[in-house]
A and B are shown apart, each in its own frame.
Chain A
Amino acid sequence: MGFEDVALQSRILTLMTLSFHIIYATVGVGVPLMIMIAQWVGIRKNDEHYILLARRWARGFVITVAVGVVTGTAIGLQLSLLWPNFMQMAGNVIALPLFMEVFAFFFEAIFLGIYLYTWDRFEDQRKHFLLLIPVALGAAASSVFITIVNSFMNAPQGFEVLNGELVNISPLLAMFSPAVPTKVAHVLSTAFMTSAFVLASIAAYRLMRGSNHIYHKKALFLTMKLGLVFSIATAIIGDFSGKYLAEYQPEKLAAAEWHFETESEADLILFGILDGDEAKYAIRIPYALSILAHGVPDAEVIGLNEFPEDEIPPLWIHYLFDTMVTLGMWLAFFSFVFVVGAWRGWPIITKTWFRWLTVMSGPLAMLAIQAGWWFTEVGRQPWILRGYMKTSEGATTSGNVDLMIVLFAGLYVILGIGTVVVLTRMYKRNPVEEELAMRESNKGGEEE
């Protein structure tokens, strides 16, 4: 039982909690915007279907938010429990965005409570719609602030170390590290993209299983359009993220690309397996790495040979990067086909196999999110604060982390299963056809 062990255990627990939280957090950031759009379209077109769509999404959303709050509280506390040395240092420099995040939570939680419990309470639908804006803003702001903290871990600045003491601390400089623009933009656009595809999956599934109602068709078309827009945005911002890496964290990019020697006109390596320093069975796209890194085909890309052996991230992040990029490309392409197809009336988009692909888009986007986070976090190793503190130095010295892993694994399994069971049960008990019919019959009474 050495020091290393506890650090490894802490990593495993962090990985578990974050990977689980990020599912709910992504939905939490993206879905309010989707609800807003649906409700807005409904109000504008005076179309009951879109309003009901917003309402039904909102109902499911509460459940994911509640679990998101639980898991978020867990990760928030675990940061201090598992990485006390890191948090002590980070607290001095990067506490500001963490603190601001709490206000974003407050803002979101308050207005979400109000929004949910005031359906039909206002004469004017638009007033109710307005309540959703702070929810969406609060959720987006919380992801922005936490991503700023994460950016700081990747590109720390805003302080100096003098004889082991932190001096000249500037909280604002620390907040606006060079990693911020691409990271924040990429995280936001992927959250929107993923939420759109998750909702599209649900609509596609309903269309296949029994209900051929126009309501689901509208939902599917709307979400696929949004998915297309945000997946294009994601790919463009992802390209900028690559350029950021080339400039500030070249070891991460080089490890992701198995780029061992510094060279110009570098190839992009897709898939393959590693045999020593040789990538076998890989697809090589000429010049593509130089373009990803610097935007021109003959640019020089820094290779792993320029870094000390013990500061090179694990090379398996290559697969994580490939997974993310491939899925991103696929989803952009697929949603493009769908949208054009739906618009031109191509018959394939109603085929069963095509529907199945549509159903898959949500889970695939979620997988891409996971791959992306694992890539960027594992790719930062061995550093917890790049260039300043190694992950093993940041970890707790407390025993019992192993026990906590078991405990929290159990908790997440229960919460995960619970979410799925409760959501399916909730929608099954209250099918959309019935609800539409009921609203129709109420209509006469409701309207002035």
Chain B
Amino acid sequence: MTLEIIGISVLWLFLFLYVIVASIDFGAGFFNAYSAFSDKQHILTGVIQRYLSPVWEVTNVFFVFFFVGIIGFFPQTAFYYGTTLLVPASIALILLAIRGSYYAFATYGAKINHRGYIYMYGLSGLLLPAALSPVLAISEGGFMRLEGGQPSLDYWALFTSPLMWSIVVLSIAAVLYISAVFLTWYSWKAGDDKATDLLRKYALIWAGPTIITATGIIFELRGHNPEHYANLLDLWWMFALSFLLFLGTVYLVWKRRNYGMAFILLVGQFFTAFFAYGASHYPYLLYPHLTIYDSFTNESMAIALIIAFIAGLGLLLPSLYLLFRLFLFDKDYVKGKSDYHA
């Protein structure tokens, strides 16, 4: 294994973790807003606030980890992506600010439960994946031009690209699906039958669109980036595995059985698909300009970063374990029996 591969694998893994935890967070906000809209708020709010409030800052750090890490391991990405993504990334920042301030002002603070705010918070959960996921489309190439050595983004090509829109739709459907499956499990643990039923329904509704758009993207790629498409087909067995896991989740949720297992299968489904996608993208970070090899940092920095990563992980894993034990696996807390907020 080369240092380049270690670096990109670490980053890809953390991006994957961010996708899962952030999806839960984004989707929950949307369901919360939707239920406020249809006057079912009391069903979901409790579940959502009990789980999300203590952990959203941790969720955010996964994102920070990714963009700091990619600049560290692959500094040239700063040049290509940094120059071109000013507008989309700034929009994503504003949306993140809406979410962060909702936690700060509405759930921790003075309990401002203004409806407009709840809707904004919910909507930002849908818009964020839509703002972040085009980066995946851009990385497929064809949307970035080099003018006098300076990269710039071809917005027109991007916004008229079916590939970009399929990725956006997939990201939204996936967010809602991941979130619904997780929250079904969480509310089932909380012994909240009403919320479980409602969320289970959402999970089943969003399963279809998720798998359809995911398949659609593979076909979009055939026209857009044949090289990537061919690599994807070589890994067909991973996607097949992912699809089986998907069926497993849907089956369990459908049968109202073992929601915990259903969520684990879902993580497996996304894990295999995400890594198959990443592996087939190899070695490009940006078709055709940038590969992980020519953008890689120097060897001494790479080694230093990997050592720091291992040391950091040694600190992180026990702390995360403690956090989850207290807020995810603690029966009394989950059920809302004990409220120890400062």
Residues of A within 8 A of B (CB): 55, 58-59, 62-63, 65-67, 69-70, 72-74, 76-78, 80-85, 87-93, 95-96, 98-103, 105-107, 109-121, 134, 166, 169-172, 396-398, 400-401, 403-404, 407-408, 411, 414-415, 418-419, 421-423, 425-426, 429
Closest B residue, CB atoms, query A98? B68
Question: Across the interface, do A77 and B109 meet the contact criterion of CB distance under 8 Å?
Answer: no
Q: Assuming A65-B57, A80-B67, is B108 touching A96 (CB within 8 A)?
A: no
Question: Across the interface, do A171 and B79 meet the contact criterion of CB distance under 8 Å?
Answer: no
Is B54's beta carbon under 8 Å from chain A? yes
Contact of A80 among B71, B94, B150 (CB under 8 A): B71
Contact of A113 among B76, B109, B311, B327 (CB under 8 A): B327
Chain A residues whose CB sits within 8 angstroms of the CB of B327 once the complex forms: 113, 117
Is B298's beta carbon under 8 Å from chain A? yes
User: In the assembly, what is the distance between CA of A112 and CA of B60, in Å?
Assistant: 14
User: In the assembly, what is the distance between CA of A113 and CA of B342, in Å?
Assistant: 10
Question: Across the interface, do A105 and B61 meet the contact criterion of CB distance under 8 Å?
Answer: yes
Distance between B149 CB and nearest chain A CB, rounded to angstroms = 9
Chain B residues whose CB sits within 8 angstroms of the CB of A81 once the complex forms: 82, 85-86, 89-90
Distance between A128 CB and nearest chain B CB, rounded to angstroms = 9
Is B37's beta carbon under 8 Å from chain A? no
Contact of B110 among A72, A101, A166, A429 (CB under 8 A): A429
Question: Across the interface, do A107 and B309 meet the contact criterion of CB distance under 8 Å?
Answer: no
**Can you give 12 A-B contacts (C-beta < 8 A)?**
A69-B57, A77-B89, A87-B71, A99-B69, A102-B65, A103-B308, A107-B316, A115-B342, A171-B301, A171-B304, A398-B152, A408-B94
Chain A residues whose CB sits within 8 angstroms of the CB of B323 once the complex forms: 110, 113-114
Question: Across the interface, do B319 and A106 meet the contact criterion of CB distance under 8 Å?
Answer: yes
Distance between A371 CB and nearest chain B CB, rounded to angstroms = 26
Question: Across the interface, do A171 and B300 meet the contact criterion of CB distance under 8 Å?
Answer: yes
Residues of B within 8 A of A (CB): 53-55, 57-58, 60-61, 63-65, 67-69, 71-76, 78-79, 81-87, 89-90, 93-94, 96-97, 100-101, 103-105, 108-110, 112, 150, 152, 297-298, 300-301, 304-305, 308-309, 311-312, 315-316, 319-320, 322-323, 326-327, 333, 338, 340-342
Question: Across the interface, do B320 and A88 meet the contact criterion of CB distance under 8 Å?
Answer: no
Chain B residues whose CB sits within 8 angstroms of the CB of A90 once the complex forms: 75
Question: Across the interface, do B58 and A113 meet the contact criterion of CB distance under 8 Å?
Answer: yes
User: In the assembly, what is the distance between CA of A275 and CA of B195, in Å?
Assistant: 73
Question: Across the interface, do B75 and A106 meet the contact criterion of CB distance under 8 Å?
Answer: no
Chain A residues whose CB sits within 8 angstroms of the CB of B104 once the complex forms: 62-63, 66-67, 70, 418-419, 422
Closest A residue, CB atoms, query B88? A81
Question: Across the interface, do A87 and B341 meet the contact criterion of CB distance under 8 Å?
Answer: no
Contact of B105 among A107, A418, A429 (CB under 8 A): A418
Chain A residues whose CB sits within 8 angstroms of the CB of B60 once the complex forms: 69, 73, 109
Distance between B180 CB and nearest chain A CB, rounded to angstroms = 24
User: In the assembly, what is the distance between CA of A166 and CA of B301, in Å?
Assistant: 12
Contact of A411 among B94, B105, B152, B312 (CB under 8 A): B94
User: In the assembly, what is the distance between CA of A88 and CA of B61, in Å?
Assistant: 22
User: In the assembly, what is the distance between CA of A155 and CA of B150, in Å?
Assistant: 29
Distance between B335 CB and nearest chain A CB, rounded to angstroms = 14
Q: Which of A62, A98, A99, A396 has the most CB of B within 10 A?
A: A99
Question: Across the interface, do A58 and B342 meet the contact criterion of CB distance under 8 Å?
Answer: yes
Chain B residues whose CB sits within 8 angstroms of the CB of A96 once the complex forms: 72, 301, 304-305, 308
Chain B residues whose CB sits within 8 angstroms of the CB of A421 once the complex forms: 110
User: In the assembly, what is the distance between CA of A111 and CA of B57, in Å?
Assistant: 11
Question: Across the interface, do B64 and A102 meet the contact criterion of CB distance under 8 Å?
Answer: yes
Question: Across the interface, do B67 and A77 meet the contact criterion of CB distance under 8 Å?
Answer: yes
Closest A residue, CB atoms, query B340? A121
User: In the assembly, what is the distance between CA of A84 and CA of B70, in Å?
Assistant: 13
Q: Assuming A76-B67, A92-B75, A92-B297, is B83 touching A84 (CB within 8 A)?
A: yes
Distance between A32 CB and nearest chain B CB, rounded to angstroms = 13
Distance between A137 CB and nearest chain B CB, rounded to angstroms = 11
Question: Across the interface, do A89 and B86 meet the contact criterion of CB distance under 8 Å?
Answer: no
Question: Across the interface, do B58 and A99 meet the contact criterion of CB distance under 8 Å?
Answer: no
User: In the assembly, what is the distance between CA of A408 and CA of B53, in Å?
Assistant: 25
Question: Across the interface, do A87 and B82 meet the contact criterion of CB distance under 8 Å?
Answer: yes
Question: Across the interface, do A411 and B341 meet the contact criterion of CB distance under 8 Å?
Answer: no
Contact of B79 among A62, A63, A88, A407 (CB under 8 A): A88
Chain B residues whose CB sits within 8 angstroms of the CB of A119 once the complex forms: 340-342
Chain B residues whose CB sits within 8 angstroms of the CB of A401 once the complex forms: 86
Question: Across the interface, do B97 and A114 meet the contact criterion of CB distance under 8 Å?
Answer: no
Chain B residues whose CB sits within 8 angstroms of the CB of A429 once the complex forms: 110
User: In the assembly, what is the distance between CA of A134 and CA of B103, in Å?
Assistant: 22
User: In the assembly, what is the distance between CA of A58 and CA of B319, in Å?
Assistant: 20
Contact of B316 among A103, A423, A426 (CB under 8 A): A103
User: In the assembly, what is the distance between CA of A415 and CA of B103, in Å?
Assistant: 12
User: In the assembly, what is the distance between CA of A325 and CA of B293, in Å?
Assistant: 49
Question: Across the interface, do B340 and A120 meet the contact criterion of CB distance under 8 Å?
Answer: yes
Chain B residues whose CB sits within 8 angstroms of the CB of A116 once the complex forms: 54, 341-342
Complex A-B, nearest 4 residue pairs according to Cβ-Cβ distance, in ascending order: A91-B75, A84-B82, A66-B104, A95-B72
Distance between A272 CB and nearest chain B CB, rounded to angstroms = 41
Distance between B222 CB and nearest chain A CB, rounded to angstroms = 32
Q: Assuming A66-B100, A80-B71, A107-B315, is B61 touching A102 (CB within 8 A)?
A: yes
User: In the assembly, what is the distance between CA of A115 and CA of B75, in Å?
Assistant: 36
Chain B residues whose CB sits within 8 angstroms of the CB of A91 once the complex forms: 71-72, 74-75, 78, 297
Question: Across the interface, do A76 and B308 meet the contact criterion of CB distance under 8 Å?
Answer: no
Q: Which of B69, B73, B86, B150 has the most CB of A within 10 A?
A: B86
Question: Across the interface, do B319 and A107 meet the contact criterion of CB distance under 8 Å?
Answer: yes
Q: Which of B64, B68, B100, B342 has the most CB of A within 10 A?
A: B342
Contact of A106 among B81, B308, B316, B333 (CB under 8 A): B316
Contact of A74 among B85, B97, B304 (CB under 8 A): B97
Question: Across the interface, do A170 and B300 meet the contact criterion of CB distance under 8 Å?
Answer: yes
User: In the assembly, what is the distance between CA of A375 and CA of B335, in Å?
Assistant: 52
